[in-house]
Amino acid sequence: MAASDAAKPELAVAPAGSAPQQDGDAPGRSGSRGLLSWSAYPWIVLLASSLVQTVASFGNQAISPLAPFLVEDLGLARADIGLLVTATYLGGVLVLVVAGSLSDRFGVRALFLVGMVLAGVPLALGSVVPGYVWLLVPFALYGVGNGFALPPTTRAIVEWFPTRRRGVAMGIKQTGVALAGMICGLLVPPLGEAVGWRGTVLVLGALTVMAGVIAWLLYRDRPDDPTGAPRPPRPPFRTVIRNRSLLLLSGVTFLYAGVQLSLAGFMVLFLTERVGMGVTEAGAMLALAQAGGIVGRIGWGIVSDVVFGGRRKIVMAIFSVMAAVSSLVLATTGPETPRIVLLVTLVAAGVSAIGWNGINMLFVAEIAGRQSAATAAGLNLTASYLGIMVGPPIFGYLVDRTGSYTTAFQVGAAASLASLLLLALIRAPAADS
């Protein structure tokens, strides 16, 4: 009954943190008597969005822990594993902007279901492919579904949370990818030993579809407030693409994503080859940096909302500087570096170079406005995926070319500082100026 009540257009909706309706506030007040209370409903929106963000990322986050099983069973080279990762992001790049536009046009709820089904079904079908080349196809199709599922999560937060509470909500939602990595790292290896990589992929695909159905059941697109001003028309797609500030912010995202994936992708090799750690200790250091990223994605939201009154630009400038300094310290790190210095550096790198995503995505949505939030998120995610595909190969090339990690980390620091120049040119919305 609550689901049908929630969809009634005459219901006046209260955003998170606002007072619940009193008797007589709106003719649709009976709709709040169901299972969902509208004053608390934005937190259910956060739950549904976080579920989609996390489970939609299982496919690409599972490749690394599945790699030993794939190499043994299919006789793959390490480059073949990397190509699987590329396939998942390539599929997303092809549809992210279109998916965002569709979400702005038809609503978040439909895209939650469609995206997760399009991601989960190919992933499950990957369990029956005859060989490696055929495995690339379902992983690329999974990426398409992933691309349809993620942009709507940003619009959901913008629709249901007021400006001064969005930072925390977006930060929590954006921990989904890192959380997926942690879950897959813990569960995929024992699952692979029990049922093999094919059984594991089948389970992950089924979980993805189930999560999409759950999110579809939980989420309702926010109806217009009948007592307020009519919703402005959705800006045309070309308006979003021509928004100078959004394009500049996409450039920032490209740089951030390249630095993040270079740091995370090469951290274990760097610590084993340059610092002399064992693999287990190096893996623990990477987990520490990832944990810093999770803390950063939530913490920067709190800092932005509480300390800086909803301003995002200054917070992004802070972690640009932190990421640059961390990269420069890592460039000079060696076996003689005190462990406490390395620990602090990795935490700082995690909080900044990995923890940037929540505030960045919120800034995108606020520049674009509510009606174009998902389209803008798709554009920004495209830039992020391109950075992921370009940054780590350049980092690895520099390490191979110079025989050292020093130059690679220095280039990473330069990229972080270059983001400051782009940030300075962005015209922030009123709450950020």
Confidence of residue 345 (pLDDT cuts 50, 70, 90): very high
Confidence of residue 30 (pLDDT cuts 50, 70, 90): very low
Q: In sequence order, which residues have a C-beta less than 8 Å from that of residue 342 and are 6 or more positions away? A: 275, 285, 333
**Torsion angle (degrees, nearest 10) of CA 16, 21, 25, 27:** 90
Rounded to an integer, the average pLDDT of 185-204 is 90
Q: Is pLDDT of 348 > 80?
A: yes
The CA distance from 163 to 253, in Å, is 21
36-70 per-position pLDDT tens digit:
455 778 889 999 999 999 999 999 888 878 877 88
Half-sphere exposure of 432 (CA within 13 A, CB side): 25
Confidence of residue 259 (pLDDT cuts 50, 70, 90): very high
Every domain of the chain and the residues it spans: 40-223, 237-433
Rounded to an integer, the average pLDDT of 154-160 is 85
Rounded to an integer, the average pLDDT of 254-275 is 85
Q: List for the chain the helix, strand, coil content (%; round to 5).
A: 80, 0, 20
Q: Is pLDDT of 34 > 50?
A: no
pLDDT averaged over every residue in the chain: 82
Burial of residue 130 (CB within 10 Å: 0-12, 13-18, 19+) is exposed
204-250 per-position pLDDT tens digit:
999 999 999 999 999 988 776 555 555 555 666 677 778 899 999 99
What is the radius of gyration, based on Cα positions, of the chain? 22
Q: Is pLDDT of 287 > 60?
A: yes
Q: Is pLDDT of 120 > 90?
A: yes
Question: What CATH number matches the domain at 237-433, 3.20.20.80, 3.30.2020.30, 3.20.20.70, 1.20.1250.20?
Answer: 1.20.1250.20
4-16 per-position pLDDT tens digit:
333 333 334 444 4
Q: Are 405 and 331 in contact (CB under 8 A)?
A: yes
**Is pTM beyond 0.85 here?**
no
Rounded to an integer, the average pLDDT of 78-98 is 79
Confidence of residue 32 (pLDDT cuts 50, 70, 90): very low
Rounded to an integer, the average pLDDT of 332-344 is 94
CATH of domain 40-223: 1.20.1250.20
Provide the 10 A C-beta neighbour count for residue 193: 11
Estimate to the nearest angstrom the gap between the alpha carbon of 199 and the chain centroid. 26
367-412 per-position pLDDT tens digit:
887 677 777 888 888 899 888 888 888 888 888 888 888 999 999 9
State how far the alpha carbon of 425 is from the alpha carbons of 220, 246, 251, 252, 420, in Å: 37, 11, 11, 11, 9
* CATH topology match: 40-223 vs 237-433: yes
